[in-house]
Amino acid sequence: NTHKFYMGILATGMLLCILTGGNIDLSVGSVVCFVGAIGAVLMVNMKMNMWLAILIMFVIGTLIGAFQGFWIAYVRIPPFIVTLAGMLAFRGLSNVVLQGMTVSIKDCTTFVNLFGGGADCYIPDFFGNGPINLTCVFAGVIAAVIFAVLQLKNRADKVKKGYEAPSMGSTIGKIVVIAAVILAFSYRLAQHKGIPSVLIWVLIVIMVYGYITSNTTVGRYFYAVGGNEKATKLSGINTNKVYFLAYMNMGFLAALAGMVTIARMTSAQPTYGQNYEMDAIGSCFIGGASAYGGTGTVPGVIVGAVLMGVINLGMSLMGVDQNMQKVVKGLVLLAAVIFDVVSKRGGKLIAKN
């Protein structure tokens, strides 16, 4: 199920939309399919240069995001309506571009290898060729340790500055659960063929957007708008621009996810991208993003994406029926949002009038 790495890329973009006030983008799955379809047609049917095709795919994805962002940010049409329209329109356009057919890109080997497709696109095991990929296990252990250190450092910084900080017990509990998920995920990959090279794209996205959201002024604007839009406006920040950037960026990352998807599948089909938006939204809320906006981190969302992947994998291995898998995923998502809402009310389940 390594093609599911699109989830981490899309969830990172979705986080920025959710941060602005719990807004979502329902069109990402259709945009992934549409951009992938255009790329396949350009490279295979029109024999276009690969780099030019990649550039066009990024430009189209970004323009779609900018188009939707304009209606949301400046005309103030609700994001749900704009992106629902996009979801329907770009699914239809994908069918038009592909004429209802599958376009194989198996012969575009450079493109497939660049975006982590193909059977041999795995990072080699530097510790030999045993039944378990030790490089993958080692990487998982390092990732778990880094996560633990960052969580403890974050809590210590809050305590030192006199901010409200979670208890040591809840911090350790969080570290144990998430470290276990990371280790289980890396062990599962190690049993297969190791670390897929597509993971490098996901790591680049995590590092770039993790830095932007936590260390730059623009990144803090997303949190500010979601926290209190009126106060943000009064402080001189152009909130319309923040909404516009969130959706334009979502289009850009949907284009990247489209490239990863067609490379993994070595083809473009009109059905690709179905339910991708649901996986991305679910990853955000399970990873700690708030339904009201203003709260959530890139590492948290990636952990949410991994958790979704582990739930999918676990149920598949247990032979759970596909329809029941959807029921379980729906309940997990609802539970995550209920937990977020109730904890914000100080533990009260029923809202007062």
The pLDDT value recorded for residue 23 is 94
Tokens 């992934």 sit on residue: 32
The CATH 1.10.3470 domain(s) of the chain lie at 2-121+196-344
Which of 24-33, 41-50, 186-195, 211-220 bottoms out in mean pLDDT, i.e. has the lowest?
Answer: 186-195
**Lowest mean pLDDT across 51-55, 117-121, 219-223:** 117-121
Q: What is the pLDDT of residue 177?
A: 86
Contact (Cβ atoms closer than 8 angstroms) between residue 331 and residue 308 = no
Any residues with CB less than 8 A from the CB of 282 and at least 6 apart, and which?
Answer: 304, 308, 329, 332, 333
- pTM of the predicted protein model: 0.85
pLDDT interval class at 119 (50, 70, 90): low
Distance separating alpha carbons of residues 79 and 312, to the nearest angstrom: 29
**Residue-level pLDDT at 62:** 98
Distances (CA, A) of 209 to 27, 122, 218, 302: 21, 24, 11, 11
- pLDDT given at position 275: 87
Give the best-scoring range by mean pLDDT among 60-64, 266-270, 304-308. Answer: 60-64
| Signed CA dihedral, 193, 5, 151, 181: sign only | negative
Query: What distance in Å separates the CA atoms of residue 346 and residue 341, rounded to the nearest whole number?
Result: 9
Task: Assess contact for 86 and 30: CB atoms under 8 A.
Answer: yes
Q: Is the dihedral of CA 49, 50, 55, 60 positive or negative?
A: positive
Q: Which whole-number Å values give the CA distances from 29 to 78, 157, 311, in the listed order? A: 19, 39, 21
pLDDT band at 104 (very low <50, low <70, confident <90, very high): very high
Structure tokens at 234: 């009064």
237-292 pLDDT tens trace: 999 999 999 999 999 999 999 999 999 889 999 999 998 999 899 999 988 898 88
Per the prediction, the chain carries an average pLDDT of 88
Query: Which CATH number is correct for 2-121+196-344, 3.10.450, 1.10.3470, 1.10.3930, 3.40.462?
Result: 1.10.3470
Higher pLDDT: 130 or 330? It is 330
Query: What is the rounded CA–CA span in Å between residue 79 and residue 58?
Result: 22
pLDDT at residue 136 above 60?
yes
